[in-house]
Structure 1
Amino acid sequence: MPALPARADAVVIGGGVIGTSAAYHLAAAGVDTVLLERGSLGGGASAHTAGMVRTYFPGNPDTGRRAVRSLNAYREFAHHTAAPLGLKQLGFLVLFTDEEQIAAFEATRQDQQAAGVQVDLISARDAAGLNPLVDERAVLAAAWSPEAYHVDGLDIVRGYAAAARNHDARVFTHTPVTGIDDDNTVHTSHGSIRADSVVCTAGPWSGEVAAMASVDLPLTPHAVEMLFTDVPPSPHPELPMTMHAASGLRIRSWKDRILLAMGAPKGGETRAAWLGRVAGHLGTLFPDLDGIGLHRAWSGDFDASPDNTAFIGAHPTRRFLYAAGFTGAGLCQAPAAGEKLRDLLVGK
């Protein structure tokens, strides 16, 4: 393993989709950049997602604005990184089962559309037309956003990392950070490096990294377990990503099965009780899946802010920047987050 350099303009901590985006955007702007990753690139939260990028985030047009900008960047990804992504359009469907959810959608629809998000209210019948598994009798209406795509998150990580190296960024994996001094000397298990600026993009560990620099980021790790169904008894067409607004249950096609998520067991709740809740919503909304077997796909922690809106900014008194709290939606916002960190660091 090569030795760490003595110094760098920017040391980015965390080699997931946000960190590699930051490293690329900084290096491409001429910033001498070092990226430190505690494990392998993309081995944390970036690897534990449903593999979707979308622009519609219910109730949050600011996140949607970053996601719109990021989707445009992904469409140009191969031009900037020489790594084609192969975006596959599936669309995003949000099922409303009470009038309050519809009212909340209508209250933010204009703001969403002003942010560039393509989203409309459709009938339950139209929702069942888009996803034949939906029981239209269990649904009042739905939000439909066609701008949602399947993508391999590791392709994004690898593409950004390779492009960062092409702009002379130095990337060190299996190099956990153990401390950060007041002068921005970053200590690792393989030596120390003096940084003009530290950039924290460490996902669920961002709060710990920030605390090393005496910076408070109020983040709470948010556990998520994703599940596979058994192979359904009858073939199904490729489905849009579909979410139940009330419970947060999300499903999408995954080869010959269904991939689904609904958080993880709450405090004091057994896994069996949580699986029962998942199965209950699944059978009510999608009767063809009633009683189907459920199996662990993968699990992990996401970094969550108090209002589930990402923190992207700079400390007011020291050269410490951060982008964290994406709650599993980092793929959808990584290009815009990297651009924002670059602009903050170079003073735009």
Structure 2
Amino acid sequence: MTDRRVAVVGGGVIGLSVACHLAEAGVGTVLLERHGLGSGASRATADVLRAYFLGNPVSSAMAVRSLDAYRAFAWRIGTPLPMRRAGYLILFTERDQIAAFEDDLPAQQAAGVDVALVDAEEARRRNPLVGDIGLLAAAWSPQAYVSDTAAIVSGFAAAARRAGADLRTDCPVTAIDVAKGRLHTAGGVLTADAIVCAAGAWSVPLARSAGVDLPLAEPVEQELLATGPPPSRIPLPDIPITLHAASGLLVRKRGDGLLVGMGYPGPDREGWREQVRAQLAVTYPSLEGTALRTAFTGVRDASPDRTAFIGRAPARTPFFYAAGFSGHGLCTAPAAGRLVRDLYLGREPDIDVQRLAATAQRG
């Protein structure tokens, strides 16, 4: 039996950020990961760091702060984090999408997001691949980058270890006894003064043991697809990260092709891929007939409103949670780690954490 001050459950980018921030604050920290570091949702990201989350200014505020932290990542890992500015473009084909953007704009600007509405001509200038889709306007935010998730995971891990954190892989947590501060693992029982649940898709039963109901959807498998070069063999232009708002089709340039995402595959994976092929051909006609292959897969957790749950439970052993990031964890990980650290240390967070609590009224 080993004693630690704080035990973090989950070795994805969120759990690693939490462990890193706690250890750098001088807190004795152990992290427990069921497989390898970054092997869950962190394995299936588009390597995108962006500040703008339409309709979600809380996530945007966290992402703005996280971008600042990523730009300064060199002090943690010794070298700058790879960050290629690409910009983020959201294509609007319906009037109510534009109205929603305008209603949301003041809150986004207050969160520090640089975003503006541009006309269809400007949108096509930025992404000349866009076809005749009835484009009315687009949201444009220059605060978006293509980075390297593996470098972020390894950077947080190295910094956490350097600060004294004990990172244990292949160590699944099977149960938590919050009343006694005990974590039952494959390697035995570990006790802690505080517990942080950052287990992604596996967070619900662990949080329930502390009396916390995290209303997360059933774990879903995310799949990102990759294209080869376009059939014309004409090199693709350097397009921004682009979202087609109506379908959820997200693309970014990757090598001589594109990385493509569109929701979750569900049980009919081949049917979903056909939908992606069809939508890709409609949105970007020059890519019709381009072959698609699986690039990455990983299991994700998702909250009902796609805003993360971060907070503290009134348990006998202090219990904190950071889950439900809905695929946005990479963009918000530094801010999430700092929030959990501040909650543990009793500091005043720089974001209204009450809006992130599992008990908060959202809508």
Using the size of structure 1 for normalisation, the TM-score is 0.94
Q: Which residue of 1 aligns with 2:193?
A: 196
Is 1:90 aligned to residue 86 of structure 2? Answer: yes
**Residues 209-224 of structure 1 mapped to structure 2, 5 A cutoff:** 209-220=206-217, 221-224=219-222
Q: Which residue of 2 aligns with 1:130?
A: 126
Count of aligned positions: 342
Once the two structures are superposed, what CA deviation does each residue of 1:181-215 show, in whole Å capped at 9, x if it has no partner?
12121111011111111001111111132234443
Q: Secondary structure at the match of 1:159?
A: helix
Bigger mean CA offset, 98-107 vs 214-223: 214-223
Is 1:279 aligned to residue 277 of structure 2? Answer: yes
Identity %: 52
Asked if 1 retains the 8 angstrom alpha-carbon contact of 2:93 and 2:133, the reply is no
Is 1:77 aligned to residue 73 of structure 2? Answer: yes
Asked if 2 retains the 8 angstrom alpha-carbon contact of 1:203 and 1:325, the reply is yes
Asked if 1 retains the 8 angstrom alpha-carbon contact of 2:50 and 2:331, the reply is yes
Q: Secondary structure at the match of 2:226?
A: strand
1:162 deviates by 1.1
Bigger mean CA offset, 293-302 vs 122-131: 293-302
Asked if 2 retains the 8 angstrom alpha-carbon contact of 1:81 and 1:162, the reply is yes
Rounded Cα–Cα distance in structure 2 between residues aligned with 1:306 and 1:14? 21
CA RMSD in angstroms comes to 1.5
- 5+ long unaligned stretches in structure 1: none
Rounded Cα–Cα distance in structure 1 between residues aligned with 2:157 and 2:143? 26
Rounded Cα–Cα distance in structure 2 between residues aligned with 1:172 and 1:124? 51
Letter in 2 for 1:179: A
Once the two structures are superposed, what CA deviation does each residue of 1:107-157 show, in whole Å capped at 9, x if it has no partner?
111111111001000111111111111125531110011111111112111
Asked if 2 retains the 8 angstrom alpha-carbon contact of 1:91 and 1:145, the reply is yes
User: Are residues 271 and 211 of structure 1, via their aligned partners in 2, closer, same or farther at CA, if it must alter by over 3 Å?
Assistant: same
Q: Which residue of 1 aligns with 2:256?
A: 256
1:291 deviates by 2.7
Rounded Cα–Cα distance in structure 2 between residues aligned with 1:104 and 1:79? 39
Rounded Cα–Cα distance in structure 1 between residues aligned with 2:147 and 2:197? 25
Letter in 2 for 1:184: G
Asked if 1 retains the 8 angstrom alpha-carbon contact of 2:91 and 2:243, the reply is yes
Letter in 1 for 2:216: L
Q: Which residue of 1 aligns with 2:180?
A: 183
1:284 deviates by 1.7
Q: Which residue of 1 aligns with 2:99?
A: 103
Is 1:171 aligned to residue 170 of structure 2? Answer: no
Q: Which residue of 2 aligns with 1:162?
A: 158
Q: Which residue of 2 aligns with 1:227?
A: 225
Asked if 2 retains the 8 angstrom alpha-carbon contact of 1:228 and 1:297, the reply is yes
Using the size of structure 2 for normalisation, the TM-score is 0.91
Asked if 2 retains the 8 angstrom alpha-carbon contact of 1:14 and 1:202, the reply is yes
- 5+ long unaligned stretches in structure 2: 348-363
Q: Which residue of 1 aligns with 2:293?
A: 295
1:330 deviates by 0.5
Rounded Cα–Cα distance in structure 2 between residues aligned with 1:297 and 1:164? 29
Asked if 2 retains the 8 angstrom alpha-carbon contact of 1:82 and 1:159, the reply is no
Letter in 2 for 1:143: A
Q: Secondary structure at the match of 2:55?
A: coil
Is 1:51 aligned to residue 47 of structure 2? Answer: yes
Letter in 2 for 1:334: A
Once the two structures are superposed, what CA deviation does each residue of 1:56-87 show, in whole Å capped at 9, x if it has no partner?
00111111000000000111111134353121
Q: Secondary structure at the match of 2:247?
A: coil
Residue of structure 2 aligned with 1:310, choices 308, 311, 326: 308
Rounded Cα–Cα distance in structure 1 between residues aligned with 2:134 and 2:221? 28
Letter in 2 for 1:253: K
Letter in 2 for 1:296: T
Asked if 2 retains the 8 angstrom alpha-carbon contact of 1:138 and 1:285, the reply is no
Letter in 1 for 2:184: H
